[in-house]
Amino acid sequence: MKKRIGIVGSGTAGLILAYALKEHFNVTMIHQRSADEIRNGRVMSTQVHFGPTREREKRFHMPKWDEKNLLKSIHITIGEQKLFTGMLKEPALSVDQRLYYSDCMNDLMKNGVSFRQEKVSKDQAEALVRDFDLLIDCTGKSGPLFPFPIDEELSPFNAPQRKCIVGYFLGVEPLNPPGVNVTVLPGKGEMFEIPAKTEHGPVAILFIMAVPDGELDEFKGIKSAEAFTEQMKRTVKTFFPAIYNRIIEDQFTLCDKNGFLQIAITPTIRKPYLTVHNKPVIGCGDSVFLNDPITGQGCNLSSYCAEQLYETIIDYKHSAWNEQLGEDYWKRARPFVKEVTEWTNAMTKPLPEHVVGQLLQGANDQELADKIAEWFESPNKAHAAFFPTATIL
Ligand SMILES: Cc1cc2nc3c(=O)[nH]c(=O)nc-3n(C[C@H](O)[C@H](O)[C@H](O)COP(=O)(O)OP(=O)(O)OC[C@H]3O[C@@H](n4cnc5c(N)ncnc54)[C@H](O)[C@@H]3O)c2cc1C
């Protein structure tokens, strides 16, 4: 008989795990919202799936998306000075998670994965362990359900470092070549302009990362789509004139009334395994590896860790499942989690001088500009650039 795996949460981490594990095990997804509720609900994030993440999607036969709107570059501006456009090694893709998650859920349902719609409470979580040989907590930033211990070395903050202000907009002329447009305003925060595919066609996501209580933190108390759009227009006009110049006034609107979001995250990394009722419980994705979105690595890290967990579970396919499985998974995943986390945390602080030097040099050196773009698809390279003398253990 196939071993039974329960996955709580049908987001990036839970979905890729379900695809990877379904051929080998009896997989059940326990999820708070139905595919339709997700599709018709509020945007949850921004998302850029870089080359390695897209490779994993292919490896595990996840749904294919049309390749019309691939992102090929990273544009970097500091203040009002556009420095360069670095080309990615492999094109990236950004699909509204409402579309991506609901499509994957419907596809998995057709392909033998059981679905149980239920919001699991912390009290119920322990009992759920008894139903499976392994329970995986993929509850994202609202999790975890289990008290996975905090990894203090990788969790230096006890408060959010940025306010995340996100709107999915129509009526912004795209940049050429298509890509992620990063504007850094030292001391104030950042703007990420990200083209994305949605149910309403292509949009430009305008994603402001505001230093709390700083000049960009202008959206406090805004609840309606109309007020959000008006404030975004004002903020872009004042602080991001190069983007404002590409706004088509009479077309500038959210792609739907749920196309905006405000959130703030306290980055926290946890040791992702526990034993409950003599069975292993494992965490994957934001529930245990929660970083600030400033480097756009959350989906990519979730996907990486899901693959590491898959490989570990396959190694244990014919042996006993206990805490050792969790320990082996963490040993495999931690070096990369550490690189992503340390780079991401460094990005929330003033950029080190040697990094600013490289960015300025990238303006006159296309090879270096391309290497900097590669930081986002291979964050170990970003880590090496930020911490040139570090050794990762
Ligand atoms: C503003 C913002 C911008 C971001 N930008 C980027 C970006 O550009 N690039 C990038 O790679 N990442 C980005 N991220 C991070 C990325 O969205 C996450 O890292 C990624 O979605 C994590 O996947 P996950 O599966 O762990 O969690 P989620 O995608 O959050 O999924 C968790 C799932 O669990 C379900 N769930 C939660 N609690 C329960 C419960 N108790 N019972 C049952 N189900 C439950 C939820 O409904 C949800 O479906 C951003 C995040 C934010 C907030």
Q: Please state the atom number of ligand 1 nearest to the C-alpha of residue 299.
A: 11
The pair phi, psi for residue 274, each rounded to 5°, is -150, 165
Question: Which of 30, 103, 139 most suits a substitution to test ligand 1, by most atoms within 8 Å of the C-beta?
Answer: 139
Closest CA to 64 of 52, 76, 74, 55: 55
Q: How far is the CA of 67 from the centre of ligand 1 (A)?
A: 24
133, pLDDT greater than 80:
yes
Q: How far is the CA of 45 from the centre of ligand 1 (A)?
A: 7
Nearest CA to ligand 1 atom 24: 140
Nearest CA to ligand 1 atom 5: 46
Q: Six-digit token pair at 138?
A: 């993929």
pLDDT of residue 391: 66
Domains, in order of start, for the chain: 4-58+97-157+266-347 (3.50.50.60), 163-264 (3.30.9.40)
Residues 6 or more apart whose Cβ sits within 8 Å of residue 304: 52, 53, 56, 333, 336
Per-residue pLDDT of 297-355, as tens digits, reads 999 999 999 999 999 999 999 999 999 999 999 999 999 999 999 999 999 999 999 99
Greater pLDDT, 67 or 136: 136
Across the chain, mean pLDDT equals 96
Q: How confident is the model at residue 393 (pLDDT cuts 50, 70, 90)?
A: low
pLDDT of residue 67: 82
Which alpha helices (H) appear in 86-201, and where do they start and end?
A: 97-110, 122-129
Q: How far is the CA of 231 from the centre of ligand 1 (A)?
A: 26
Residue ranges lining ligand 1, Cβ < 6 Å: 8-14, 30-33, 45-48, 119-120, 138-143, 145, 164, 166, 263, 285-287, 293, 296-300, 302
Residues 6 or more apart whose Cβ sits within 8 Å of residue 127: none
